[in-house]
């Protein structure tokens, strides 16, 4: 991680707290970054981009990212932040995740879910995933998203990691 991007992330952490961007905590960002570096996915999907804080952690290793965000004001901020980070291989899809996921043709190797909590399982069921894909979902503990947790644990290898707001990491085999 270069110093320019790290400084930007620190700046965004302050901005996010003051302006209700609901960004993931730093430790979750660090884990996302590490998982992407290990997995080396051909294509990453993010559901819930906000102003691009988690997108920067996901995109920094250099693999292509598609990110979904409903709020056009947040997309403007995200574009500015991605430009500042000099990260280019990111396509933003504006709209509601359920609508977009129904029409998306691509398959993904790595997905990060962080949008409307009660829709997590619906997002998951609409995903087109490559074999051995990894799906990470935030706020499992903070928002008590038990139906998602139980579903992925019954069907796949999955682990609830108790950092930040509680993230579920699921491996699709």
Ligand X SMILES: C[S@@+](CC[C@H](N)C(=O)[O-])C[C@H]1O[C@@H](n2cnc3c(N)ncnc32)[C@H](O)[C@@H]1O
Interacting residues with ligand X (CB under 6 A): 22-24, 48-50, 53-54, 68-71, 74, 96-97, 114-116, 119
Cα–Cα dist 152/56, whole Å: 26
* Closest separation in Å from C-beta 36 to ligand X: 14
Q: Which residue, 68 or 167, is less far from ligand X as judged by CB?
A: 68
Q: Which residue, 95 or 157, is less far from ligand X as judged by CB?
A: 95
* Closest separation in Å from C-beta 129 to ligand X: 19
Q: Which residue, 30 or 119, is less far from ligand X as judged by CB?
A: 119
Measured over the CA atoms of residue 58, residue 60, residue 64 and residue 70, the dihedral's sign is positive
* Closest separation in Å from C-beta 131 to ligand X: 26
Cα–Cα dist 67/93, whole Å: 6
* Closest separation in Å from C-beta 114 to ligand X: 4
How far from chain centre, in Å, is Cα 165?
A: 13
Residue that the structure tokens 């993931």 belong to: 24
Cα dist from 173 to 1, 69, 129, 155, whole Å: 30, 28, 10, 10
Q: Which residue, 68 or 134, is less far from ligand X as judged by CB?
A: 68
**What six digits make up the tokens of 152?**
């992925």
């Amino acid at each position: 991680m270069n110093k320019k991007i790290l400084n930007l992330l620190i700046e965004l952490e302050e901005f996010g707290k003051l302006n209700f961007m609901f960004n993931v905590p730093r430790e979750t960002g660090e884990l996302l970054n590490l998982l992407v570096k290990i997995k080396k996915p051909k294509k990453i999907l993010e559901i819930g981009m906000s102003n691009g804080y988690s997108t920067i952690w996901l995109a920094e290793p250099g693999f292509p990212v598609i990110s979904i965000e409903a709020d056009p004001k947040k997309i403007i901020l995200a574009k500015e932040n991605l430009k500042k980070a000099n990260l280019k291989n990111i396509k933003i899809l504006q709209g509601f995740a359920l609508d977009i996921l129904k029409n998306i043709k691509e398959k993904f190797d790595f997905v990060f879910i962080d949008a409307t909590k009660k829709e997590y399982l619906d997002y998951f069921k609409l995903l087109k995933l490559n074999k051995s894909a990894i799906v990470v979902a935030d706020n499992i503990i903070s928002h008590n998203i038990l139906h998602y947790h139980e579903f992925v644990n019954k069907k796949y290898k999955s682990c609830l990691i108790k950092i930040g707001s509680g993230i579920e990491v699921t491996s699709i085999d």
